Amino acid sequence: MPTGVKEIGCELAIIGAGIAGLSAALFAAHRGIETVLVGETGEILFASGLMDLLAVHPLEEGKTWDDPWAALTALRRDIPEHPFARTPTADVAAAFDALLAFLKNQGLPYRRRPDRNVEVPVAMGAVKRTYCTPETVWNGVRALEEKQPCLIVDFDQLRGFSARQIASTLEPRWPGLRTARLPFPGGTFSQQYAEQLAMALEAPRNRASLACDIRACLGTARSVGLPAVLGLYRTEMIFEDLQKRIGVPLFEIPILPPSVAGLRLQDAFHRGLAAKGVRLLPHHRVRGIRYEHNGHFILDITALDGEHTLNADAVALASGRFLGGGLRGDRNGVRETLLDLPVYQPKERAAWHRQDFLDPRGHPVNAAGLIIDDQFRPLGHDGQPVHERLFAAGSVLAHQNWMRSKCGVGLSVATAYAAVNAYQPIDGTRGEPGR
């Protein structure tokens, strides 16, 4: 080993620090598997905080579903190659139950109606159909359903959030929305960013000042919608305190990324996983993976403090697609970046995209990814698993278009659960599938 290189060992190495990788680490910890999570943290910062299960199928019809579980049944029938077709409904439900229980214990509670999707107002005035929302968003679900008299508040110079635009866009289905633009307490910024505002609300005096300003504009409003900036590390307490001071139900409206909601999720996962014994390497990048003659894996890792070598019994690829770096496209096609695994994709480069950029079916290249077996092991050119202890989960998998189907978190969580439960430790003494 070269001088200065640090060596680390574990049972399971998870590559990727998005929702799929973080969820896989959680499920591995529940099974008592010694786990190291490696990955740069950029992708999760784009998370809205909402957790989709499945809302649109088939894409050709743009059919939306109130019942995500019925949608899953239809999708499995119509697209047997889809990753959801390899994840039984009971396992999908168990994965969500485990994830939401974990986040609640970390002070980031979620709400849902177990058998149906809900609609949520989001930035720009759109309405999004989703499965789970943060507790801080849930009053917005009710307010929209009941068409309550509501005040939407924004702040001077806050980027990417306009109360007036939201009210104008929602007017046809939620008439009578009122808006207010307020100065934000706790200092002035030439350009205010969501993270700055969230941190400022950690101070009680700033919450008191904001509550006073909102009460002055309240009028007949029965609820108040605010951009999702109500705290970063103590969101539950800050939300409840501000709601009590104002005297009516509050709700957060998800904003454009990078978002405070993504930072909250990252913080909750990192704190909770570390407490469960997962070793986190969040600012490390895997440069390559090698197979040892004894069947183990060697991962070469680069970090700010130098080079590392990670020895692992098994590897789970949760490296994402193009944004996450798991896939890369060039003039010759789409390739997997770490092991050069075969990638399902259109045969010709010219067939990647449809003529209409906004085609509701999405583009064929969006279904590119790794082909797997029922144990979530990537397949080689011969149709056989590349390695008996190499697994894959999340958006790197083929035959799915998570963005158009509105199933991003559901896909990540369900496939992470399946991949981790498919892993059997070498000595056979650990790892009962657990919640």
Output the pLDDT for position 428.
52
Q: Torsions phi, psi of 91, nearest 5?
A: -70, -40
Output the pLDDT for position 244.
97
Chain centre distance of CA 183: 31
Q: Is the distance from CB of 169 to CB of 124 less than 8 angstroms?
A: yes
Q: Which domains does the chain have, with CATH numbers?
A: 6-104+263-422 (3.50.50.60), 123-248 (3.40.50)
- Upper half-sphere CA count for residue 289 (Cβ side, 13 Å): 24
The Cα 81–Cα 235 span in angstroms is 40
The Cα 346–Cα 338 span in angstroms is 21
- Residues 6 or more apart whose CB falls under 8 angstroms from that of 115 comprise 67, 69
| Torsion angle (degrees, nearest 10) of CA 48, 167, 227, 137 | -60
Output the pLDDT for position 429.
45
The Cα 235–Cα 227 span in angstroms is 13
The Cα 88–Cα 86 span in angstroms is 6
Chain centre distance of CA 394: 10
pTM for this entry:
0.93
Q: Is the distance from CB of 136 to CB of 254 less than 8 angstroms?
A: no
pLDDT tens for the chain, 435 residues: list them.
444 457 889 999 999 999 999 999 999 999 999 999 998 766 788 889 999 999 999 998 999 999 999 999 999 999 999 999 999 999 999 999 999 999 999 999 999 999 999 999 998 899 999 999 999 999 999 999 999 999 999 998 788 899 999 999 999 999 989 999 999 887 665 557 888 899 999 999 999 999 999 999 999 999 999 999 999 999 999 999 999 999 999 999 999 887 899 999 999 999 999 999 999 998 899 999 998 877 789 999 998 778 889 999 999 999 999 888 999 999 889 999 999 999 999 988 888 888 887 777 778 888 999 999 999 999 999 999 999 999 999 999 999 999 999 999 999 999 999 999 999 988 754 444 444
Output the pLDDT for position 188.
60
- Residues 6 or more apart whose CB falls under 8 angstroms from that of 25 comprise 14, 35, 37, 269, 273, 278
Output the pLDDT for position 431.
45
The Cα 430–Cα 370 span in angstroms is 28
Q: Is the distance from CB of 22 to CB of 44 less than 8 angstroms?
A: yes
Burial of residue 45 (CB within 10 Å: 0-12, 13-18, 19+) is middle
The Cα 158–Cα 170 span in angstroms is 20
For tokens 């399946």, the residue is: 418
Q: Is the distance from CB of 308 to CB of 297 less than 8 angstroms?
A: no
Burial string for 229-261 (b: 16+ CB within 10 Å, else e) reads bbbbeebbebbebbbebbebbbbbbbbeebbbb
Number of Cβ atoms within 10 Å of the Cβ of 43? 24
What tokens appear for 103 in the block? 């986040």
